[in-house]
Structure formats: C-alpha cells, structure tokens
Amino acid sequence: MADKIIIYDTTLRDGSQGEDISFTLEDKLRIAVKLDELGVDFIEGGWPGSNPKDMHFFKEITHYRLKKAKISAFGSTMRPGSEPSKDENVKFLIKANTEWVTIVGKTWDFHVKEALRTTLDENLRIIEKTIEYLVKSGRKVIYDAEHFFDGYKANPEYALKTIEASINGGAELVCLCDTNGGNIPTVIAKIIKEFKKKFSIPFGIHAHNDSELAVANSLIAVENGAVQVQGTFNGFGERCGNANLCSIIPNLQLKMGKKVLSDENLKKLRSVSRFIYELANLTPAKNQPFVGDSAFAHKGGIHVSAINRNPGTYEHIQPELVGNHRRILVSDLSGKSSIYFKAKEFNIDIDTKDPVAVEILNRIKELEMQGYQFEGAEASFELLMAEILGQRRKYFDLMGFRVIDEKRKEGELPIAEATVMIKVGGSIEHTAAVGNGPVNALDNALRKALERFYPELKEVKLYDYKVRVLSSDKGTGAGVRVLIESGDKEEKWGTVGVSQNIIEASYQALVDSIEYKLYKEHKKRRKT
C-alpha cells in the first residue's frame, strides 16, 4: 500500500490572511464541511485568541458530524516571562476545546531577538513549557517551527535546539516551515536530511509561495520523508500565498503514488476549489493547474488534431481524475464534444445524438455563458436538474413586485420597502414589507406573502448574501451574480441569480431558496 500523507488544510486561518479574502463564520463552516467531505485529514479552524469569529467557529463546528477531518486550533507560544496557565493566548486554545492544537514558535535566532525581544534560552523555555502544558491539559500538539529553514541557515545549532524543546514538551509532530517562501527545493532537501540525522519524530512541511516554489518545496519534503503537508485551497494566503493543495494533492497521488484521497473524492477536487473561490467572492484562476478552466483546454492547430486521436499527446493526466474536463476551443470541433463533457460533469447519462438531450445541455451551457455558476449554489443546481427531468413543481406565480429605496434626510439611513403580488392556486396575495435594504425588504415581503400557504417557510433563515460583478469594464451597467446562503433547522443551501439588475438577480436567488425548501419538503412527503 502506498504511503499515507496527512493533508492539513489551513485555508480558514492562513488562507484568510490573503489580500481580498474575508470569510464569514457561515463561510468557514460551509468550507469545513466541504473539506471534510473531500477527505482532508486536518482542518485548521483559526486562531481563537485573535478574534471572536474564530472562537465562534470552534463552538459552532461541534454541532456538525464530521466524517473524517480533525479540527485543530492554532496559536503561538506563551509570551516571554509568562507561564502557560496565565497566558491569555494559551487559555483561548484550551477554551477552543479541540483534540488537536497547532503551536507556532520561533526557530530563527534573528526573530527571537528582533520579534520576541527575548533571550535564546527563554525562547526554548516558552516552546517546551507551552507544549507541555497543552499536552497535560489533554491536547495533542503539532509544533509549527516558524522560519525553520532560514533559521537553520543562520544558526543550525539553535534551530535544532528549538525542535528539541518542542519534542521535550511532548509534540506529536513537527512541521518545518519555509515562512518567507524564499528557499529552493535543493536547500529544503538538504536541510531536511540534516534534521533527520538528529530527530526521528514525524515531520511535515509548511511552505509559502514567494518564490513560486511552495508546491515544489512541499513535494521535495515528502520525497525526503515528510508525512504531513500543510497548505491552502487555491493557494490562498498572505503575500504570494501558501502551498496550493489543489496541485499538491493530485501530484502526490497521481505522480508520486502516495495515498491521499479516495479516487472518487479526488474527482471532487475541482468542484471544491470552485466552491471555495465562490465563497471567497473571487474569480477562479483560469490557468490554475489541474482545476482551472484552461488546465485541459486546447485551441486549434496540431494540438486539437492530436488530442482527437489520443488525449495523452497533450495532457499529462486524464482531466476527469480531478473532476475537470477537456475543452476544445475551436467552434466547429467543440460542439458535440463539449456537450458530452458537460453531461459527464453533471453526471447525466446521455446519448449525444439525442436532440432533446443536446437541447437540455445547451441550456446549461447558455446559463454558464450568462454568468451562472453552480459551485456554491448547490440548491439552484438541484432545482435545475429537477426541472430538466420534469420533477420541479411550480409553487407560486409572481404577478409583480416593486422595491422602493427612499432616503429622506442626509445623515439618516435609507428606508427600503417592497411590495409583492403572487398567485398560489386560485388565491392572490398582495403584501408589503420593510427591511434594512432593498433585498432584505423583498425577502420579507415574499415570505409574508407565501407563509400563509406554506407555513414551513417560517423555518428558513437567510445566512449570507454575496454579489459578484461579472464584467467590471462596464462599470455600474455590469451584470452581477448574487449568491445567497439559506438554511432551516436541518441544513443550509446556496442559490444563485444573474442579471444586469441587482434586485432581479437577488429575486432569482431568493425564489430558488424558497422553492428549494418547498421542493425538499415535497420530496420528504412523497417518501412517506
């Protein structure tokens, strides 16, 4: 059996430190569930001592039944001159109540003197005593040796002493960090070999991408004995980002023969990548290896001719292995093939010669061309599939709505009011509601109109609302995609709407959210 490599995801902590990335609590919970479904071994939930949101995450995640992933809290060693029982940061780590804790400590003498402003001996004490205290408190500890490779180059004897201190404290695993991202693979390999001469403890790698080498450095570490790889999805992270797990995972499994995910879960890699992009409200990088739109795209000339004969001529793996698909960009060659691949993407078993199937799949393609994305909008996707299969009921008809946003006085917030007229069966309901914005007012009016007919809608809550501008070059006239997260007492779901009018896009997503709840309840009743 291939060697098992532990995947440690830090998207929710290190990844969220990237520019333009800010996850809500609901985002973090949804991402954690998605990573667990994928088969990730560890999920670093955040730094409980740094902000209330991360502390809330550790409380809320206990309500979810994760299948495999272990949640780890992250924090630093206690302050110099302190004791762990009195250190606020350590207290928060205990309060997070996770089985695993990841502690970061200084291994570079330069940082000990300049950043911590303490002595080298005191730094060794705080590493050992912090870990020892956590272990005695019932926690399993991973020690992140910050700046290990730079520290080793500057003062190898001291860098190794910090590792020894963490082992003496009771660390289960030591993760060697290229925190500044400035080292190259040959240097990483050389220093790891020196590390292994002195220590037999299991070790991992945590690489940053400042030299565009985070993935390469992670792979060379595994080649030299690392059993854990830390990284983020899509390479999110501070400065130039962290090691990209979307590249590391398939390289480990498909190129190096390491056991990482099941084959079925590896096929989810692209969809999880897109899901996280969507919740981060960022446009996916087209040229991202393995999972990007352009990763297996071919355009004209000898490439297309060769690909049609044998895909291995210009593809290093089968795209389906990671949930991606081949794209032939020349129009006269891409018609039926793109439809076939789209069918496989949506798990629809069709004969591409069937004109009805072709018409259905063209509709999906048209929606994507308009800006719809169903990663992060699972409920809208399920409703679309139900409609295609003739299983979607019409629960109400819209006769019209109006939204008024009125600002009456400078310095005061605008007042939003929405009026809705709907028809359910033979009954017409005409209602109005106010809200703290036009979308909230429209949501309140819709619910008010429908709850008389469908009281189960009272259970639905709106948790999150995101707007993505689709074509920024058109300024305020650009189309927008609205992503809404809703939920009831059982689950949460995402829906999407697209329009040049933000209210209309919001309405589409709101209606899908309401209809998904009703569709879900209808399916339950049919089963019973």
CA distance 27 to 464: 8
**pLDDT: is 3 or 303 the higher one?**
3
CB-CB contact of 393 with 425 (8 Å): no
CA distance 96 to 60: 11
Looking at residue 167, its pLDDT comes to: 98
Looking at residue 513, its pLDDT comes to: 95
Q: Is the pLDDT of residue 45 over 60?
A: yes
For strands 397-406 and 415-424, give the pairing: antiparallel
Closest CA to 468 of 494, 435, 506: 506
Alpha carbons within 13 A on the beta-carbon side of 316: 8
Looking at residue 334, its pLDDT comes to: 40
Looking at residue 49, its pLDDT comes to: 79
Cα 191 to chain centroid distance, Å, stands at 32
CB-CB contact of 15 with 233 (8 Å): yes
Share of the chain above pLDDT 70, in %: 89
pLDDT in tens, 261-304: 999 999 999 999 999 999 998 988 989 999 998 898 876 555 65
Let me know if 484 is exposed, middle or buried by CB neighbors in 10 A (0-12, 13-18, 19+). Answer: buried
CA distance 163 to 166: 5
In the chain, where the domains are located: 6-261, 297-371, 372-391+461-528, 396-453
pLDDT in tens, 125-165: 999 999 999 999 999 999 999 999 999 999 999 999 999 99
CA distance 268 to 321: 9
Give residue 83's pLDDT band: very low, low, confident or very high (50, 70, 90).
very high
Looking at residue 501, its pLDDT comes to: 92
Task: Return the amino acid letter for 170.
Answer: G
* Torsions phi, psi for 120 (to 5 deg): -65, -40
pLDDT in tens, 377-407: 888 888 887 787 777 889 999 999 999 998 8
Share of the chain above pLDDT 90, in %: 71
Q: In what order do the strands lie in the sheet with 480-487?
A: 461-469, 480-487, 492-499
Closest CA to 242 of 12, 476, 473, 494: 12
Domain 372-391+461-528 has CATH 1.20.210.10: no
Average pLDDT of span 467-489: 83
Average pLDDT of span 439-468: 92
pLDDT in tens, 228-249: 999 999 999 999 999 999 999 9
Degrees, nearest 5: CA angle 65-71-76: 160
Average pLDDT of the chain to the nearest whole number:
90
**pLDDT: is 489 or 138 the higher one?**
138
CB-CB contact of 84 with 123 (8 Å): no
Degrees, nearest 5: CA angle 196-199-201: 105
- In CATH, the number for domain 396-453 is 3.30.160
CA distance 115 to 103: 17
Which ranges in 39-81 belong to alpha helices (H)? Answer: 52-60
CA distance 475 to 38: 38
Give counts: helices (H), strands (E), the chain.
18, 16
CB-CB contact of 246 with 235 (8 Å): yes
CA distance 335 to 92: 57
CB-CB contact of 229 with 241 (8 Å): no
CATH topology of domain 6-261: TIM Barrel (3.20.20)
Task: Return the amino acid letter for 235.
Answer: G
CA distance 255 to 499: 43
Looking at residue 237, its pLDDT comes to: 97
Closest CA to 501 of 519, 477, 524, 483: 477
pLDDT in tens, 305-360: 666 677 777 789 999 999 998 876 543 334 454 445 444 544 555 565 656 566 66
CB-CB contact of 53 with 25 (8 Å): yes
CB-CB contact of 460 with 484 (8 Å): no
Q: Which residues contact 331 (CB under 8 A, 6 or more apart)?
A: none
Instruction: Give the range among 44-48, 103-107, 283-287, 506-510 with minimum mean pLDDT.
Output: 283-287
Average pLDDT of span 20-37: 96
Looking at residue 326, its pLDDT comes to: 80
Question: Are 372-391+461-528 and 396-453 the same fold in CATH?
Answer: yes
pLDDT in tens, 157-207: 999 999 999 999 999 999 999 999 999 999 999 999 999 999 999 999 999
Looking at residue 342, its pLDDT comes to: 45
